[in-house]
Amino acid sequence: MRRSLNNGLGLLVLTLSLGGVAAAESPPPALACLSQWYPVEPVKVDGAWHAKLGATTYPWDDGKPKTFEQKLESPDLEDTFSLPYKPGPIQPVTRENEDPGRIRFDPLFHAAYGNAESKVDVVDIDFLGQKLKVNRKAAPAFERVAKRLAAAVKQEPSLRPYLQNLGGTFVWRKIANTNRQSAHSYGVSIDVNVKRSHYWEWAKPKEPVRWANQIPQVIVDAFEAEGFIWGGRWYHYDTMHFEYRPELLDPACAPSPRGP
């Protein structure tokens, strides 16, 4: 406890820090952490935690049991953390529907980046000699990745082909074969060279899903170090795809374990 506090305030802070009222009123760790990355205000409504996004409030947990497909189509914010994202050495993904990051809560993206094409604030950046349009808020992260990759290519020129003829960044569109908005719509995603990538929808036969990849570890590491998740960590793999989702790589955002 700080010595500079007066006795009354010091007693209050000590009481709260011991886990009394403060512990009871603290939001779930993942919700509290989310507010560090997005314009989210954790609030209590009728005794349950909600996320205030602008003028609208959404339940953190809607209390509905859901299949994986239902989480994709109608998630609450808690659902977006239901599959932990695990960086590290690249490994085949064989567990069905192990797709951390594919569950997106659109109102969160709308509040952070814009809810219509005309409202997404994009800027031009130089990415390894290629001009890209990305969201202004994510531009510094893209630029840091570019710096890491430039250094990697200098040491290992064989990486360059993966980073040429990029598949794109900002495009307001739906995800292929769905009615869900693509993360590319918000200018926070990038596709590396499509010709050196694998996508489960393009596989022949498409079922059963068989994971495939040739994107090198060093490229994945560069993106993940700056808060980007990789579609190669998904059972429904999309190895060209990197997406700025810093909350999924922040250990402080790990959800609390459920009780019995």
- The pLDDT, as a whole number, for residue 60 is 97
| Spatial separation of the C-alpha atoms in residues 212 and 187, rounded to whole Å | 26
- The pLDDT, as a whole number, for residue 31 is 96
| Spatial separation of the C-alpha atoms in residues 108 and 111, rounded to whole Å | 5
45's enclosing H/E stretch is: strand 41-45
- The pLDDT, as a whole number, for residue 38 is 97
- The pLDDT, as a whole number, for residue 176 is 83
Nearest to 142 by CA among 89, 197, 187: 187
**119 with 111: CB under 8 angstroms?**
no
Q: If the chain, 260 residues long, is cut into consecutive pieces of 10 residues, what is the mean pLDDT of each piece?
A: 36 40 74 96 96 97 96 97 97 97 97 97 97 98 98 98 94 90 97 96 92 98 98 98 98 68
The pTM of the full predicted model, rounded to 2 decimals, is 0.88
| Spatial separation of the C-alpha atoms in residues 258 and 59, rounded to whole Å | 17
**53 with 107: CB under 8 angstroms?**
yes
Cα 118–Cα 39–Cα 76 angle in degrees, nearest 5: 90
